[in-house]
Amino acid sequence: MTITDVVGGRRVEVVRGVADLDREAWNALVRAAGGSVFHSWEWLAAFEEAPPGVFEPAHQLAYDGDRLVGVCPAYLVHHCPRLERIAETAGIDFGGPVLLAHSLAAFAGGPLALPEHPDARDALISGLADTAAALDAWAWGAVNLPAGRLVGRLIGAGYATARLNTTYLLDTRHATVEDYWSTFRSKHRRELQRERRVLTRSGVRITESAPDADTHVRLVHGVVADHGASLDVLPEDFLRALHRHLAPHDRSLTAVDLSGDAIAVFAAYDFGSERSLWLAGLDVDRLDSFGPYRPMVAAAVESAITAGVPLVNLGRGNPAPKRRVGAVAAPLYLALATADRARTALLHAALRRLERDGADHDDVGDGCC
Amino acid sequence: MADPGKTVVLIGGRAHREFEVLHDLGYRILYLDKRVPLHLMAWVDVPVDVDTDDWDQVAEVVRDQLDGQAPAAVLTHVEPRIPLMAHLAEQLLPVGRGLTTSAARNCRDKWHTRTVLEAAGLPVPRFGLAEATREAARIARDIGFPVVVKPRDGAGAFGVRRCETVEETRIAAGHVLDEASPDALPGVLVEEYLDGPEYAVQTITRGGKTRVLSVFRQHMTEPPVFVELGYDFPSGLAEDELRVLELLVTSVLDELGVDDWVSHTQVRLCADGFRVVEVNARRPGGRLVEMTGAVSGVDMVDAVSRLALGLPVEEGEPRATLARYRSIVFEEAGTLLYQAPPAGAFPSIVEVEVPSGDQVQPVDHPDGGVYGRILVFADSVEEVDRSERRAREALDLRVAPSDDLTWVAAETREFKSCC
């Protein structure tokens, strides 16, 4: 399906699967537009291979002539446990599939455009609306949009919006790890050193490596189950597909015990200028609390500084230890629209209710990540 | 209920004029509020107590009352009920009319207002939304002091405070977060303090075309609290400044999606030009409707009622070229004593909202603020001065110190601090 001349002469093309995307061109654009691993071809490939629900890809590509100037991954969502929980909290019944850009599992969504082609974002949003009509979607929109101009434009265009959750960002542009820690009070540094010594004395060390897929799934599912959440938000096949596809970008940290067994993991990925700490995992049979959490956060930050990564996305939930290392809250928004007046009123009321009653879901605590 | 097509659903409101207009236009009133006051029973056709925070329940009540048929219009003049009004209108009316749900939210939610206008390149204070006091302090540090802390969807100046330090910001943000009503949107707005004269701009927009009805110079107390002391017309702005202001407000309303409706917008003139402080998708409070009517010939209560009904708006001739509005406020606490003027004693409006003998608090006290107003119209400055002087002499307002008395808040005041 191709839609032409959507906005200002931009050609917007809709692609129904990653097989039809030029991987290198897509990733190059995501990097140039400041995107993270959540917009990468590899993330989309894993999502398509083992989706956590029923999703039809409908990725949008904006061209200036023959040059790719913007992308917007999107799916026609037929079934998504996370979206269904949001609908339940918001008290709305989506009367059909929703075209979403793109995944509630990611920390970022919506269109990306080259800095010199900011209007490509408008074309991509218009493209979403046209695609929603062509696919007979009940509604369309974007999830996990960062606060800023795009959210303002969508609100101004009549989209119903709600602050969905919060991720925590840390500026890691420091020459050395010592420079970074020197910005903290000595009391704070001493506390962290004490926690690290306790961890070391207990025989646990933190390594810059990813566990194998089986261990990765076991540890992540351990935390999900321990929070009383359903595993359907992070099904095993989905985790395995991501583990495999994202391997080139993997910068995970693993805590191992004296016998070398992995007891905790931070699944982290470098892409563009961001390191994204996507998921945490824990051997809940061996540890009744996430003891290594704060030293692992500190280690992740130090690792990023050493590697010259300018920004670390520490992810959603668990704000206290993230704030302690200097991270700041970055709200993420859901924006939805329909072409029908009465549905629009329902959406506005529902998202207002969602923002009032259900904002800031924990990452895995209730599955709404 | 007889003839739903001639019934207007009116949500909240206490001013007699709001009811009178609808009856004069030949409509019956289905009145909804959490608890309908006894004195309104005579002004409405069907009063219904309903939880106005439960929008689905309100819609059901209206459907039940109207046997599932559409009302002629849904209307409110009460700021917190505007999103509900727009929601009901879009749910119940067969065609779109008046304020949309999106525009209602864009004005009601100050974070929305600023986010939309900033994205459109229109001038607003630098701002941030915090969900905790610590975050509020960080935003304030990023913006630079002084800052203003305010509720995200508050009405008027309630909870609004200027803060000079991190500690003041934390305390003010804590108050807003702790005292938020269950229906309030989450978060507290922290924004740059704008220094400069403030103006109130009243408009009517029809078919995408905005007419500025009045621009008033607004007088406020000195920070940290914001209490409106009065308004002047003309505003004192030069012709070219007025043109810039009119263009700005027109663009603002367009970006927020306000059409076929009235508005009351507050703007400050800073060193780098006008910047938008608040946009209210309603008629102004206090007696600014009467002041606007006198200088523009448009009654905003009548106009917005007609817009809700899809009727043509009537425009008359201005009755005055000058207007002055002064809030009745006090410098110190005590017992208020005054002479009640007989009805019709003045050609203009003189009203005190508490009876003589009640206790009053200073203007900057949390329980103080505005206790009434004097509004005079004329065609010369001398005449305005004379009218105001006569009104004050007739009222003979005095405050007897009463430090030994226990403070009891009066419940009769409609507008405590602002419009």
My answer on whether A144 and A173 are in the same domain is: no
Both A258 and A308 in one domain: the answer is yes
Judged against a pLDDT cut of 80, whether residue A47 lies above it is answered with: yes
Mean pLDDT of all residues belonging to chain B:
92
pLDDT digits (tens, 9 = 90+) for B121-155: 999 999 999 989 999 999 999 999 999 999 998 76
Domain-located, residue B217? yes
Q: Is the pLDDT of residue B347 over 90?
A: no
Domain-embedded: residue A369:
no
**Is the Cβ pair A155, B117 closer than 8 Å?**
no
The band of B419, judged by pLDDT with boundaries at 50, 70 and 90, is very low
User: A152, B131: Cβ pair inside 8 Å?
Assistant: no
pLDDT at B407 over 70: no
Where does chain A show beta strands of DSSP type E?
2-3, 11-15, 54-57, 59-64, 67-72, 75-79, 98-101, 112-113, 139-146, 160-171, 205-207, 253-256, 262-271, 274-282, 311-316, 328-337
Which of A155, A169, A344, A346 best tests the B interface by mutation, with the highest count of B CBs <10 A? Answer: A155
- Test A342 with B117 for CB contact under 8 angstroms: no
Looking at chain B, which residue has its C-alpha nearest residue A345? B87
- Indicate if B182 and B202 belong to the same structural domain: no
The pLDDT tens digits for A139-187 are 999 999 998 999 999 999 999 999 999 999 999 999 999 999 999 989 9
CB contact under 8 A, B185 and A352: yes
Q: Give residue A229's pLDDT.
A: 86
In a domain? residue A363:
no
Assess whether B186 and B203 both reside in one domain: no
Give a yes or no: residue A368 inside a domain. Answer: no
Q: Which residue of A has its CA nearest to B180?
A: A356
Indicate whether B268 and B348 sit together in one domain.
no
Residue A66 has pLDDT above 60, yes or no: yes
> What is the secondary structure of A52-121 as a DSSP string?
SSEEEE-EEEEEETTEEEEEE--EEEEE-HHHHHHHHHHT----S-EEEES-TTSS--S-EE-TT-TTHH
| Domains contained in chain B, number | 4
CB contact, 8 Å: B251 with chain A? no
B209-220/B198-206 β-pairing = antiparallel
Percentage above 90 pLDDT, chain B: 83
* Residue B406 resides in a domain: no
The model carries a pTM of: 0.89
Virtual torsion, Cα A16, A22, A23, A25, nearest 10 deg = -130
- For residue B106, the chain A residues in CB contact (below 8 A) are 155-156
Residues B175-232 have pLDDT tens digits of 999 988 878 888 999 999 999 999 999 999 999 999 999 999 999 988 777 888 999 9
Helix (H) or strand (E) holding B174: helix B166-178
A60 occurs within a structural domain = yes
Judged by DSSP in three states, A173 sits in coil
User: Residue B115 and residue A158: Cβ atoms within 8 Å?
Assistant: no
Q: Could you tell me which residues come within 8 angstroms of residue B219 by beta carbon, excluding any fewer than 6 positions away?
A: B228, B229, B230, B231, B232
Of B296-300, B320-324, B400-404, B406-410, least confident by mean pLDDT is B406-410
* Domain housing B63: 4-97
**β-strand B188-192 against B147-151: which pairing, if any?**
antiparallel
Contacts of B56 in chain A (CB under 8 A): 91
Report the pLDDT averaged over residues B284-301: 95
Greater pLDDT, B56 or A367: B56
**Are A39 and A177 contained in the same domain?**
no
Residues B257 and B303 in one domain: yes
CB contacts of B183 in chain A (<8 Å) are: 356
3-state secondary structure of B303: helix
Q: Are strands B7-11 and B73-75 parallel, antiparallel or unpaired?
A: parallel
Whether residue B303 sits in one domain with residue B212: yes
Q: What average pLDDT score do residues A193-216 get?
A: 94
Interchain CB distance below 8 Å, A341 and B96: yes
Residues A150 and A255 in one domain: no
Mean pLDDT computed over every residue of chain A: 92
Average pLDDT over residues B286-307: 96
pLDDT at A280 over 60: yes
Q: Please give the average per-residue pLDDT across B340-360, as a whole number.
A: 84
Q: Smallest CA–CA separation between B350 and chain A, in Å?
A: 41
From chain A, the residues in CB contact with B185 under 8 A are: 352, 355-356
Q: How far is CA B418 from CA A199, B280, B369, in A?
A: 58, 13, 8
Instruction: Indicate whether A29 and A149 sit together in one domain.
Output: yes
Residue B33 lies in a domain: yes
> Is the domain of A272 the same as that of A339?
no
Q: Tell me which residue of B368, B392, B394, B381 sits closest to B232, measured CA to CA.
A: B381
Chain A closest-CA separation from residue B133 CA (Å): 12
Predicted pLDDT of residue A7: 64
User: Do both A20 and A130 map to the same domain?
Assistant: yes
> Which positions in chain A have a beta carbon within 8 angstroms of at least one beta carbon in chain B?
91, 147-153, 155-156, 158-161, 163, 166, 323, 328-329, 331, 341-342, 344-346, 348-349, 352, 355-356, 359-360
- Lowest mean pLDDT across A33-42, A265-274, B333-342: B333-342
CA distance B104 to A51: 38
CATH of the domain at B292: 3.30.470.20
Residue B139 counted as domain residue: yes
CA distance A122 to chain B (A): 13
Work out the average pLDDT over A36-50: 98
- Closest partner residue to B186 (CB to CB) among A152, A341, A355 is A355
Question: What pLDDT score does A361 carry?
Answer: 45
A290 and A236 in one domain?
A: yes
Per cent of chain B over pLDDT 70 is 95
A116 and A187 share one domain: no
Show residues of chain B in contact with A91, CB under 8 Å. Answer: 56
Domain count, chain A: 2
Nearest CB partner across the interface for A153, out of B101, B119, B129: B119
CATH code, domain carrying B138:
3.30.1490.20
* Residues spanned by the domain of A64: 2-165+332-358
Q: Which of A149, A165, A170, A341 to mutate to test the interface with B (most CBs of B within 10 A)?
A: A341
